[in-house]
Each structure stands twice: as C-alpha cells, then as structure tokens.
Structure 1
Amino acid sequence: MRSTYTRRLFAAVAGLILVTATGALAGCGSDEPASADGPAPLRVGYQRFGGLSLVKARNAAPGVTWSLFESGPALTEALKAGAIDIGQTGEAPPIFAAAGGTDFKIVGTSEPIPQGEAVLVHESDGYQSFADLKGKKVALNKGSNVNWLLLKLLEKHHLTYTDVQVTYLKPAEARPAFDNKQVDAWIIWDPYFALAEQPGVKVLADATGLASNREYLLVAPGALESKGEQLTSFLTAYRQTTDWGIANPAERAKILAPELKIDEPTTTRALARSAKALAPVSPAIGDELQAIADAFTGLELIPGTVDIKGRVDERFSDLFR
C-alpha cells in the first residue's frame, strides 16, 4: 500500500510547482497581442535554450504568444491551468504531469540528447565514479529529465534511491548550492550545464548509454480541437527553423546568445551537444516513455500507475519526418 508520506510528498511538490508556474506566468507577457478580428493566438510555453527559443529569437512564428519557464514541471503546470496551448519539456515532466491529472497529448519529439545532461562535481573532491557519491548530497530538479538520469545512474552502480541524499532544488537554487559546496553533486541539463562548466568543475557522467534525454512537445486537448491549423503552421515553422539551425551552427549561436543572455562561446558549446533534429512520435516512443513512468511508479515517486503511452498522438508526425 502506498505510504501516506509518499502521497503528502507528491502533493507538496505539486503545490510548489504550481506556485512556481503561477509566478512565471505573472512575469511573462505576450509578444503578440490577440487580434480582435482574428482567432485567439497560439500560446506557446518554452524554456530558455530549448528548440523553441530559436523560433522565438528568429521571429519564425509571428502571431503566437510566448511564456518563459525555468523548467519542465513549471511549464506543465501552466498547461494544466489552461494558460498555454503547447510547450516543450524533457522526458520526465510529462509523466509527473500526467500523474498530477494534467490532460495533454504528446505530438512530437527530438533525436536523443544524452550528452545534454550530466552529473557535475568539484575536481577537488576526488570523485571518480557516480558510485563514490553514496551517502552524499545530490541536487536535481524534481520531475525534470534529470530525475530519470538519477534512476539510471543508481541502477548502473547498484545503488538505491536512499543510498544518496537527494536534494530537490530548482536550477537557480542549485547553482549557488553547488558552487558553495552545500551539495556534493549537481545533475543538470543545458544551458545550465554549460554555464556551470567552470575551472575546477568536473563532468562525472552524462546520460550516454543511460537515458535518451529527448525533448517532447505537449499540446492541450482544447488546442488540438480548436487550433489545428495554427498548430500545423507553428510546427512547420518549428521544424524548418530547427533544420536551419543545425545547418548553420555559427549563425544559430549568434542569434541565440542574446536571447539566452549567455555569452556566445558558452552558447556554442551547449548547442554543439544539445541541439538535435526533431523527430516524429511513434509507438516505440510511447514504449520508451512508459518504461520511465513504470520505474517512477515502482519507486513511489508518482502516485499510482500512469498510461503515458496513451498520450502519444501521431497526427502531426509527417511534419517531423
């Protein structure tokens, strides 16, 4: 029987994420106001650095409104609240969102990005393997893609979830905690990963061979019903912009660096490993996500079972082939 503690923990975390999402939305305005004579604009939630940032920076999809989020869990809470129509996250946030009752479909993904998330430690601490972190404090954002990487690292090194002191911190909180050695390791994704790669910081492991770390596009059911043409137009622009960026990496970095508020060399380094082509969803993608969901259920990180495979919707897949 699921413990009362687990249910309370999940509820508390969900509440914290909702507060974060509400605050993020309060600080995000619309770049394009709705026209009184036309349909309501498509409302897009994005994370700084994700593929959608390039669409925004190039103004490749005029007529949409943009809302910025620090992490996938905050974005999915905005989706639940009906504040956005479409958004982009990593592999774990859709699962936590589904467990929390958010209704959505997964309409697109990306090629794997295993080098785009990693475990960072301080060289002076002498850690040689993730196994050396047994009993140590490991910081990560709960419900984000790195939550799945943690599970795979524990499995690889024959450790359990209780063998490390998991410390749930948002990126803005985790960076100073890591820099000041209040935690022993930080599991994080780009561009925060690239920003933290300073002298004295060591990449202990990345997700290669462990996790796909794909990006996923989530769409609210209402938008699928009422904004189908707008979604098709937007996703077409997204695909074209992504392809352009891959073909023109130097220009991509110049355009994105000011948008990301990151220097160009750091932007270039992060994009070189983390910017990948879009890909269609498929039953195989559903199986990949379902395996992650089942693992989270087994560890009681989410309450009950989640049919995430049933959220996969292939209606736009031809746009990504």
Structure 2
Amino acid sequence: MSKKTVAILSAALVAVAGLGLAAATFSRKDDNVLRVANQKGQVKAMMLASGALEGAPYSVEWSEFPAAQPLLEAVGGGAADLGLAADAPFIFAYQSGSPVKAIAVQSPANQAAQALAILVKTGSPIRSAQDLVGRSVATTRGSIGHHLLLQALERANIPAEKVRVTFLPPGDAKAAFDSGAIDAWATWTPYTNVAIKEGARAVVDAKDYGLPLYIDIANADSIAPKRALLADFLKREAKAVAWSRAHPDQFAAVLAKETGLPLDIARASFERSNRVSRPIDASVVAHEEAITARFQRAGLIEDARNVSQAFDPSFSKQ
C-alpha cells in the first residue's frame, strides 16, 4: 500500500436528509430540531444515502465522533439528544452515572468476520488470547473492543490484570499500533478493515464471542419534550437500514464520500451497519447485566445501577 493511501486512511479514521412522514404527531413543545451524535460511518451515511430524512417536519443537527465514548459524553451531557452506540459503551456510560436511556435496540444481521477484533501485526508471535499475558493492548475504555478483550481473557481464565491495557482513542491507538508501541489493538470497523488491509491479522474475532447489540441512546431529559421527533427518527432510521441492506454498493459510495475511506473499505464496513431491530425485552436487559458484571469483575464499575432502568421500551410500542 502506498504512503499516500495510508495517509488518506489515517486521516479519514481520526477525523472528527424520499420517505413518507411517520405517523407521529408533532406538538408545539417540540423545538423542531433533533441533535444527533454520529460515529463516522454509521447512521448519518445511511440516512443520507437512502434519503430517509427527506420530508421530515424537523431538522437534524449532526455532530461527529470517532468513537462511542465521546459520543456518549455528548448525549449524556445534553449536547445531543440521540446517538447510536454498542452495548458495552452504553452500559459503561450508564453505570458511570450518565443520564442516558436506551430507546431502541438492533442486532447484527449476520456474523461479520473481523468487524470487531483484537489485532496484531503479521509477524507478531501472539496467536491467541493466552499469548496476551504480559503484553500491551490498546483499546478505548468501556468500548466494545475493551469488552471483547475482557471476554477473551475470561474465556482463557486469565485475570485482567495480567495484560497491560492502554486506553487510547482510535486515532492514537492506530498510531501506536502502526509504530509498534503496543503489541495488540482491540478495535472495531472501519479500523479493523483498514488495519487488516495494511497487513494486520486477528487473534480474537468477536463472531466467536457473540457480536454486540447496537442501541439508539437518548438523553433522558430529551425524551419527554422530543418524543415525537425521536419516534419519527427511529422509524426513518429503520427504513434507512433496510434500504442500505438492499443497496450496499450505493450506501458504500456515500459512506466513502462522508468518511474519506477508500470504496473497498467502505464496502467492507457495511457489515456493521447491516442490522435488524429487536424488541427491548428481558433478554436484552440480561445481556447488559452480563456486560455490567464483566466490567465489575475487572474493577471498572463499583456500585452498579439497576440495569432495567437503563431502558425505555415505550418507543417500540409506537
């Protein structure tokens, strides 16, 4: 791969709407603006590609983030009304006291290989989770990569403290990985796709551990005044996901334009966006309780909040 291509990939990774109206009734108490926090390569690209926001009786203000942690800080801090993140960072933020609520849940539509993985360089002697003992692994604190690392160590009966974990945002983690400053990197697409294209290999693949759920997360104080906007947006998002599933190449073209990623990487990243809605039920709550317990065993959460209170299932009934 040329130096120019690598530079384009790195810059893209660290850089921080014709559907009919939904049936929601909009009232004067709605301020007619929905502030949506977006991770690069996720909801915004789908909404733009599908035209799902065309005709919406409100405007959407997008804010861009490189990972779930700063996105959730924006939602929890009231700078955004809504954002999409995976199960682990959501519950980590909730257990840290953030005023966030899950209002919709989706599952991956297929077992996408290496969409979430622990990566090493091609020539690394690390071949399995057991080989991570005493090694340095970079990830983002409370992320799906962090959770995958804990799962892999747990399955291998390795105490979490036996691995040297360095918490870095994705851009810094990529730089550390490229330079050899760390031994492994627990991360997600599109970072996995780029790293593998550049010669990395996966020693742990999330498809062997159960892929994460993806969650639409609202600021708790936004739910009442913006219920109609949130409900309408969720319906449009579901249509956008369905459209993207039926038109992956068109979606990839928009994703490449939005993120600056090469088209082949954007096309590979589609697998993470390909998901299906599921009800907020006891199995979803139990799933988040298991993640909470895993973070607790690693000493990352002390006094856990009631996980069932982290969900607002009322939107699935609208």
State the TM-score, normalized to the length of structure 1.
Answer: 0.83
**Alignment correspondent of 1:238:** 237
Identify the residue that residue 107 of structure 2 maps to in structure 1: 111
In 2, the alpha carbon distance for the partners of 1:39 and 1:279 equals: 29
Q: Structure 1 residue 173: deviation in Å?
A: 0.2
Q: Residue 199 of structure 1: CA displacement? A: 4.2
Pairing partner for 1:95 from 85, 91, 96: 91
Matched positions, count: 286
Assess if the C-alpha contact under 8 Å between 2:112 and 2:271 holds in 1: no
SS in 2 for 1:125: coil
Q: Which residue is 1:188 aligned to?
A: 187
For 1:124, what is the secondary structure of its paired residue? coil
- Give the match for residue 43 of structure 1: 35
SS at match of 2:203: strand
Larger CA deviation: 64-73 vs 97-106: 97-106
Aligned partners of 1:147, 1:80: CA distance in 2, in Å?
20
**Any gaps of 5 or more consecutive residues in structure 2?**
1-14, 17-28
1:69 alignment partner in structure 2:
65
Query: Which residue of 2 is the match for residue 276 of structure 1?
Result: 275
Correspondence for 1:287: 286
Distance 1:92 1:317 in 2: 21
Q: Which amino acid aligns with 1:60?
A: A
In structure 2, what is the Cα distance between the partners aligned to 1:284 and 1:102?
23
Distance 1:245 1:293 in 2: 32
* 1:211 counterpart residue number: 210
Q: Give the AA of the match of 2:154.
A: E
User: Percent of pairs identical after alignment?
Assistant: 29
**Contact (CA 8 Å) 2:137, 2:182: kept in 1 or not?**
yes
2:118–2:187 CA contact under 8 A, matched in 1: yes
Alpha-carbon separation, structure 1, partners of 2:123 and 2:208: 27
2:127 match = 128
**Structure 2 SS opposite 1:197:** helix
How far apart in 1 are the matches of 2:189 and 2:119?
Answer: 12
In 2, the alpha carbon distance for the partners of 1:286 and 1:129 equals 30
Is the contact between residue 104 and residue 279 of structure 2 (CA under 8 Å) also seen in structure 1?
A: yes
CA contact (8 A) 1:124 1:200 kept: no
1:81-104 superposed Cα distances (whole Å, 9 cap, x missing partner): 211111111112222212222112
Q: Point out where structure 1 has 5 or more consecutive residues left out of the alignment.
A: 1-26, 29-36
**How does the TM-score come out when normalised to structure 2?**
0.84
- The whole-number CA distance in structure 2 between the counterparts of 1:208 and 1:304 is 30
How far apart are 1:279 and its partner, in Å? 2.6
Report the aligned-residue RMSD. Answer: 2.2
Report SS of the residue matched to 2:123.
helix
Query: Within 5 Å, which residues of 2 pair with 1:74-85?
Result: 74-85=70-81
Structure number with the bigger relative contact order (C-alpha 8 A, sep ≥ 6) is 2
